[in-house]
Amino acid sequence: MKKLKYIFVACALGITGCATTPPENLFQVAETSLQDRQMQSRFFETSNEVELLSAGVAVLQDMGYSIDETETKSGVVTASKTVDATNNAQIAGAVLLAVLGGGNMSIDSQQQIKVSFVTLPSKNNKNGYLARATFQRIVTNTQGQVTKAETMKTEELYAEFFNKLSKSVFLEAQKI
């Protein structure tokens, strides 16, 4: 019975020794989070959330995305597309490494871009909705390993999306 206690204590210590601690900055908000939210959000003066979501779906499809999921009651649309991620500089580096006898170097091969489009009733204006879109990408290399996972923060991307969405919302409202 005494041996069993020692084995139990040793196992308990072994398990707790393998526990990891979360990074210190895990729950810290990034300094640019307010700017990012402003870039990713727009107000639309419409009383019909379904039309806004429908316009968002149309814009995403026009941009080449496949719709993964829609939930009109929650005001959520998710979409994705896979595009080529090859980089000429990486290819040149891989060729140079191979010539020098360095072996097989993996390079970025494709990226999957995921979009979340969310609508919420505006608290400030009862005749409108706040729409937020986030674009994220996951880049994989030729060996299938993830080399990058990031939120895309290009202002032009969000401006293009929201300009197209504004036009689409107008067309939806006019039944065109």
Q: Indicate which CATH number applies to the domain containing 123.
A: 3.30.310.80
- Asked whether residue 168 is domain-assigned, the answer is yes
* pLDDT at residue 95, rounded to an integer: 60
CB count, 10 Å around CB of 108? 17
* pLDDT at residue 151, rounded to an integer: 92
Task: Quote the DSSP letter at residue 26.
Answer: T
* pLDDT at residue 145, rounded to an integer: 84
CB count, 10 Å around CB of 158? 21
SS3 112: strand
Number of separate domains in the chain: 1
* pLDDT at residue 88, rounded to an integer: 64
pTM over 0.85: no
- Asked whether residue 134 is domain-assigned, the answer is yes
Q: Which amino acid, residue 152?
A: M
**Across residues 50-74, what is the average pLDDT?**
95
Q: Which residues contact 123 (CB under 8 A, 6 or more apart)?
A: none
In this prediction, residue 32 has a pLDDT band, given cuts at 50, 70 and 90, of: confident
- Asked whether residue 22 is domain-assigned, the answer is no
* pLDDT at residue 143, rounded to an integer: 82
- Asked whether residue 15 is domain-assigned, the answer is no
Residue 62 belongs to domain spanning: 39-173
- Alpha carbons 86 and 104: distance in angstroms, whole number: 16
- Asked whether residue 124 is domain-assigned, the answer is yes
Residue 15 has pLDDT above 60, yes or no: yes
SS3 82: strand
In this prediction, residue 127 has a pLDDT band, given cuts at 50, 70 and 90, of: confident
- Asked whether residue 48 is domain-assigned, the answer is yes
* pLDDT at residue 125, rounded to an integer: 83
Residue 158 has pLDDT above 90, yes or no: yes
Closest CA to 155 of 170, 135, 139: 135
- Alpha carbons 134 and 151: distance in angstroms, whole number: 7
- Asked whether residue 88 is domain-assigned, the answer is yes
Across the chain, mean pLDDT equals 82
- Asked whether residue 148 is domain-assigned, the answer is yes
The lowest-confidence range among 11-20, 60-69, 151-160 is 11-20
* pLDDT at residue 83, rounded to an integer: 86
% of the chain at pLDDT higher than 70: 70
CA dihedral 171, 172, 174, 175 (to 10 degrees): 110
